[in-house]
A and B are shown apart, each in its own frame.
Chain A
Amino acid sequence: MSERTERPRGLARGWLYLLPVLLFAAVGVVLALGLERDARTLPSVLVDKPAPAFALPPLPGRDDRGFSRADLGGAVMLVNVFASWCVPCRIEHPVLEQLAREGVVVHAINYKDDPRDALSFLRTLGDPFTRVGVDREGRAAIDWGVYGVPETFVVDREGRIRYRHVGPLQPRDLERTIRPLLARLAP
């Protein structure tokens, strides 16, 4: 008998009971997406912007004249920020050498390093770099928006930053992102 008076509101109430379940599902989806992305990897605001102006002195004992903004552009290039004290840099080094062997121009910013250590790093592990600029104070790196080493940038023929990779470049990064991007930028 009471059902007769309740029925019109019964449907609305059933929906109301479902609401927490729906909310839970929505929160779950958001959190699951959050798990997938690494919060520590920041998107670079410099992507699709021209590379910053900088001029860095050469690494003593290495045969080049340093690395500056004028060296960028004309071809697709990689800019790697490394230091001899940085362990992940050692891990990614073979990947950079692989790219250099394939004819990709790779420049480097040597970040807050003792030039002697940097030189012996390159003599021991191999030297894939076309130009190396010494950034002892880390000022040029700040202009590049660098917040840790290693970081690697892809710069296109117009001298624009097209991609920034935070952390060591691994073979799978090469296959998944770097190579397809290089192929797209320099067909």
Chain B
Amino acid sequence: MTRVLAPLVFAFACALRAAFAATAPDEMLADPALEARARALGKELRCLVCQNQSIDDSDAPLARDLRRIVRERLASGASEAEIKRFLVERYGEFVLLEPPFAPATWLLWAGPFLVAAAGAGLVLGFLRRRAAGAEEPAELDPEERRVLATLIAGESSERAP
């Protein structure tokens, strides 16, 4: 019974959490479209106290203050980019959960692809070398041929006494 119920309860709790996040009803903007923009923007901004949560998820007082600032500024007509700039000026690019694509971060963005490409290169090289090796085994020189012949002869004579 618990085996069936536990995942259900867990899923329900997750859904509940996703529905409410940390944004309290009294913080919300009256205009649903603006509130939706505020929620979306809040998900992209890092809570500096809990650091791996967005301000939309965090219960920290600073996250609440930042949510309020986001809403005030959206309500007064600021764009998402302007609000991000406002916060980056104060807290640095660390406040953005998704780092911007800039010269300083291109390695970060390209990193996984570079590693995948290097891995693919290694595998291809290995496969090609193995295929090449399988096609043309080293030729035996006359000395090896002679030893081999003796061995085969000796073995067959032992087997058939």
Could you tell me which A residues sit within 8 Å of B by CB distance?
1-2, 5, 39-40, 42-46, 52, 112, 137-139, 142-145, 147-148
Contacts and interface: CB of A to CB of B under 8 A. Distances in A.
B92 A44 contact: yes
Interface string B44-77: 0000110100000000011001100100000000
Contacts of B92: 42-45, 145
Chain A binding surface SS class = loop
Given A42-B48, A142-B65, A147-B48, 5 more contacts: A45-B88, A45-B90, A138-B65, A139-B65, A145-B91
B104 interface: no
Given A43-B92, A45-B90, A142 B48 contact: no
Contact of A147 (B69, B91, B144): B91
Given A1-B144, A147-B48, A147-B49, A137 B65 contact: yes
A139 B61 CA distance: 12
B138 interface: yes
Contact of B90 (A1, A2, A142): A142
A40 B66 contact: no
Given A1-B144, A40-B51, A147-B49, A138 B88 contact: no
A143 B90 CA distance: 6
A143 B92 CA distance: 12
B89 interface: yes
Contacts of B147: 1
Contacts of A5: 138
Contact of B49 (A1, A137, A144, A148): A148
Interface in B126-161: 138, 143-144, 147
A145 B90 contact: yes
Chain B, interface size: which category?
Answer: 10 to 19
Contacts of A139: 65
Given A1-B144, A147-B49, A46 B65 contact: no
CB-based closest 7 A-B pairs: A147-B48, A45-B92, A145-B90, A5-B138, A145-B91, A138-B65, A1-B144
Given A43-B92, A45-B89, A147-B48, A142 B66 contact: yes
* Residue picked from A2, A42, A147, most chain B C-beta under 10 Å: A147
Contacts of A138: 61-62, 65
A19 to B, nearest CB: 10
Contacts of B91: 42, 45, 145, 147
22 contacts: A1-B144, A1-B147, A2-B138, A39-B51, A42-B48, A43-B92, A44-B92, A45-B89, A45-B92, A46-B90, A112-B61, A138-B62, A138-B65, A139-B65, A142-B65, A142-B66, A142-B69, A142-B90, A144-B90, A147-B49, A148-B48, A148-B49
A109 B138 CA distance: 81
B94 interface: yes
A52 B65 CA distance: 18
B89 A147 contact: no
A84 to B, nearest CB: 15
A15 B158 CA distance: 44
A98 to B, nearest CB: 29
A135 B90 CA distance: 17
